[in-house]
């Protein structure tokens, strides 16, 4: 008999004979494991792992609440889901707020206890991916166009809200030649165009960019290098 079948038997026995086992211990072993948020560019996704000793397709129920609320709210799109993740971006859309989520395993006959996530603050915990970079070469040097990644949020009129709108960003630009760093530029996250002058003519330079979160002192991953030859 598998351990899961054993637990389910224990639970069904419990109904008749409550002293046999601590009900709570059994329900805890059926709970999803390692429930936590992962967040990139404010896409806030709750992840979890299957309960121990199980490997079949189980169903999960997800709820969330704002820190301080008494009531939990069902996450409509993740009721009875068989996925091991649930995108809660729309439920956790206030960047400075603190959130909790919890997940329950549903077996055919019984539901587990709720497995609680750590407290989650989107602004503090999200990572910001590299801005998109476009290069053009002119007589003055290399013109760089930067575009920060979009967040999953939209304004009422439908336009996408940029990650730089949600928190203070800085971009770092790394300029290399033959693999040797020539220069690093730091610009505010609102800068969309800049000119890199004082470069050698007919020389190939490569640029990479990353976003830096000022409040957290953290940087996201760097973009792939893009190379261009000056005039």
Q: Which residues sit at the interface with ligand NAG, rule CB under 6 A? A: 61, 74, 79, 134-136
The residue (of 7 and 64) whose beta carbon lies closer to ligand NAG is 64
Query: Which CB atom, from 40 or from 194, has the smaller least distance to ligand NAG?
Result: 194
Nearer residue to ligand NAG within complex by CB, 58 or 166? 58
Shortest Cβ 85–ligand NAG spacing (Å): 18
Residue 18: strand, helix, or coil: coil
Nearest distance, CB of residue 151 and ligand NAG, angstroms:
25
Name the minimum Å distance from CB 36 to ligand NAG: 22
Q: Nearest CA to 7 among 24, 30, 37? A: 30
Q: Residue 10, CB half-sphere, CA atoms under 13 Å: how many?
A: 18
Cβ proximity to ligand NAG, 42 vs 60, nearer residue: 60
Would you state the structure tokens that stand for residue 168, as one six-digit string?
């203070």
8 in helix, strand or coil? Answer: helix
In the complex, what is the shortest distance from the CB of residue 110 to ligand NAG, in angstroms, rounded to a whole number?
13
User: Cα–Cα distance between 72 and 79 in angstroms, integer?
Assistant: 13
Residue with tokens 């707020």: 97
């Amino acid at each position: 008999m598998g351990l899961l079948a054993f637990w389910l038997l224990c639970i069904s026995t419990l109904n008749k004979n409550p002293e046999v086992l601590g009900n709570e211990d059994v329900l805890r072993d059926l709970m999803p494991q390692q429930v936590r948020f992962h967040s990139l560019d404010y896409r806030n996704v709750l992840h979890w792992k299957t309960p121990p000793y199980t490997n079949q397709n189980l169903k999960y129920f997800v709820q969330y609440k704002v820190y301080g609320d008494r009531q939990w709210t069902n996450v409509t799109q993740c009721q009875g889901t068989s996925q091991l993740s649930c995108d809660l971006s729309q439920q956790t859309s206030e960047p400075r707020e603190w959130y909790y989520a919890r997940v329950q395993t549903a077996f055919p006959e019984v539901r587990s206890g709720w497995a609680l996530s750590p407290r989650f603050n989107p602004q503090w915990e999200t990572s910001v991916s590299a801005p998109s970079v476009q290069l053009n070469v002119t007589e003055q040097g290399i013109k760089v166009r930067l575009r920060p990644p979009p967040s999953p949020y939209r304004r009422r009129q439908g336009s996408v809200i940029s990650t730089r709108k949600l928190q203070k960003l800085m971009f770092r630009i790394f300029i290399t030649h033959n693999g040797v760093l020539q220069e690093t530029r730091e610009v505010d996250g609102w800068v969309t165009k800049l000119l890199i002058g004082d470069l050698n003519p007919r020389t190939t330079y490569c640029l990479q960019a990353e976003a830096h979160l000022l409040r957290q002192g953290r940087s996201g991953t760097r973009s792939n290098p893009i190379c261009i030859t000056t005039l």
